[in-house]
Each structure stands twice: as structure tokens, then as C-alpha cells.
Amino acid sequence: MSMSTYIVTVTAIDCVGIVHSVTGTLRDHGGNILELSQTVMRDYFTIILAVEFPEPRNTRTLSAAIIANGAKFDLNVEVIAAGTPTHVAVVENGERFILTVLGVDRPGNIHGISECLMRNGVNIVDLHARSDGEKFSLVMEAFLPQALSPGVVRQALEQFGRGLGLESYVQHENIFLATTEPSPVRVGPPPPRQGAAVAPY
């Protein structure tokens, strides 16, 4: 059976019951949720879902149904047909790093940071940033190409942040797994070299 997958995004002023309403509509139309991410940002509810259906659906009809079922929430809904997953990593053999930028808030911070990353072939997969008064903080997960040293990325970010009051950190995610999870410490595979281990002398 061929399945059709759609990406559904819904935003609204946050209140109790939105997830229940949206997922109920999708269920009633035969949808199965593959993945879901939801957050509330500054009192605004945002959800994005990947949903598969046994047969193709009309995106406008689906969108209208979600809006109608959740009329009391005044939902903004977008439904698009998802392309066929390629299952090819955007950054081949990339490693997941956590990038943190802290400092003074100003327009253009995230644009400048993302430009540094784009130039180095770094793919952002998760990002959270906020300004709190004059303070700016950004934490993101990103894949660095294997050949790219984290020091190079940090240098590029520091160069951008110099004079703007921003400090940057680029750290492999294992350091955060080690300090927050009780499971055994994980170490990434050593980078390939000629001649592996040190032979006994």
C-alpha cells in the first residue's frame, strides 16, 4: 500500500485543548502521526506534524477540516505534501555538536551566526534562541562535516561576535550526554589515521 505524507503546521494563541483538536481531526481523516514537535513561544502555540495517510488527501480540505474543528482556537494552519524522503544525510558522516552563543541582543545576531555556519557547511537541526532584555542566548544542535574542526567553527563565530558582545562555544554533544545522563559515557570513533593504535614498544 502506498502511503502519502503531509507536513502540517498549526499556530495559535496558546490555550488548553489545541493538540487534542488537531490530532483528533487527523485521526478522523485516517492519518497516522509519524513525528510531532510542539512548543509554546511567548504565549504562542506552535506545532508541526508529519502525518501519513493511506491515500492522497487534498491539502486544502485537510486544512479546512483542522480549522473548522478547532474554530474556537482561531487556528492558523498550513498543510503541504511532503516529498519522498531521500534518507541521505544533509551532512554526510556529520557529527552532532551543540553550539551556544551568549551575549548582547541585537537585530541580525541569528542571521550572522547562521551565515557563519552556512559558509562552513554546518547543518542546523534544532535551534532555540531568545532575548531576555538585552541578553541574547542561542543553543542549537548542528551537524558538522567530519573534516571540519570544531575549532574552525568557533573561530568563525567568534570573529562574527567580536565587537558585538557575543561569545561562542562549539562542543560535541557527548559532553552533555555525559553530564546529564547516568548511562555509560560514550566516546565517538577516533578520526581515521594512518596506523591505528600505538603498537606496544
Partner 1 sequence: MHRTEDVLSTLGMVRQHKLDVRTVTMGIDLQPCGSPDLKTLCDGIRARIVHYAGRLAEVCREVEARYGIPIVNRRIAVSPIAHVAAAHTAEGYVAVARTLDAVAAEIEVDLVGGFSALVQKGWTQGDRRLISVLPEVLSTTKRVCASVNVGTTAAGINMDAILAIGHVLKDTAERTRDHDGFGCAKLVIFANAPNDNPFMAGAFHGVGEPDCVINIGVSGPGVVKAAVEDLVRHDPNVTLGDIAEEIKSTAFRVTRVGELIGREVASRLGVAFGIVDLSLAPTPQAGDSVGEILQAMGVLRLGAPGSTAALALLNDAVKKGGSFASSSVGGLSGAFVAVSEDLALAEAVERGDLTLAKLEAMTAVCSVGLDMIAVPGDTDAETLAALIADEAAIGVINHKTTASRLIPVPGKGPGERAVFGGLFGEMVILPIHAAGGSTAFVRHGGRIPAPLSSLRN
In terms of Cα–Cα distance, which of 74, 136, 139 is closest to 100?
139
Site residues for partner 1, window 108-147 (CB under 8 A)?
Answer: 126, 128, 137, 139, 141
198: contact with partner 1 by CB under 8 A: yes
Tell me how crowded residue 77 is: count the other CB atoms within 10 A of its CB. Answer: 20
46: contact with partner 1 by CB under 8 A: no
93: contact with partner 1 by CB under 8 A: no
CB of 100 to partner 1, least distance (A): 6
- Which of 103, 121, 150, 165 binds partner 1 (CB under 8 A)? It is 150
- Which of 85, 108, 182, 192 binds partner 1 (CB under 8 A)? It is 182
**Identity of the residue, 67 or 178, whose beta carbon is nearer to partner 1 in the bound complex:** 178
**Could you tell me the three cell numbers for 87?**
534518507
179: contact with partner 1 by CB under 8 A: yes
**Could you tell me the three cell numbers for 147?**
573534516
Q: Any residues with CB less than 8 A from the CB of 172 and at least 6 apart, and which? A: 95, 96, 97, 98, 150, 188
The CA–CA distances, whole Å, from 93 to 88, 118, 144, 192 equal 10, 17, 9, 12
**Identity of the residue, 68 or 185, whose beta carbon is nearer to partner 1 in the bound complex:** 185
192: contact with partner 1 by CB under 8 A: no
**Could you tell me the three cell numbers for 15?**
490555550
CB of 90 to partner 1, least distance (A): 17
DSSP E strands in the chain: the ranges are 4-13, 32-41, 44-53, 76-81, 95-104, 123-132, 135-144, 166-172
Q: Is 132 helix (H, G, I), strand (E, B) or coil?
A: strand
194: contact with partner 1 by CB under 8 A: no
1: contact with partner 1 by CB under 8 A: no
Give me the residues that bind partner 1 (CB under 8 A), please: 98, 100, 126, 128, 137, 139, 141, 149-151, 154, 169-176, 178-180, 182, 185, 187-188, 190-191, 196-198, 200-201
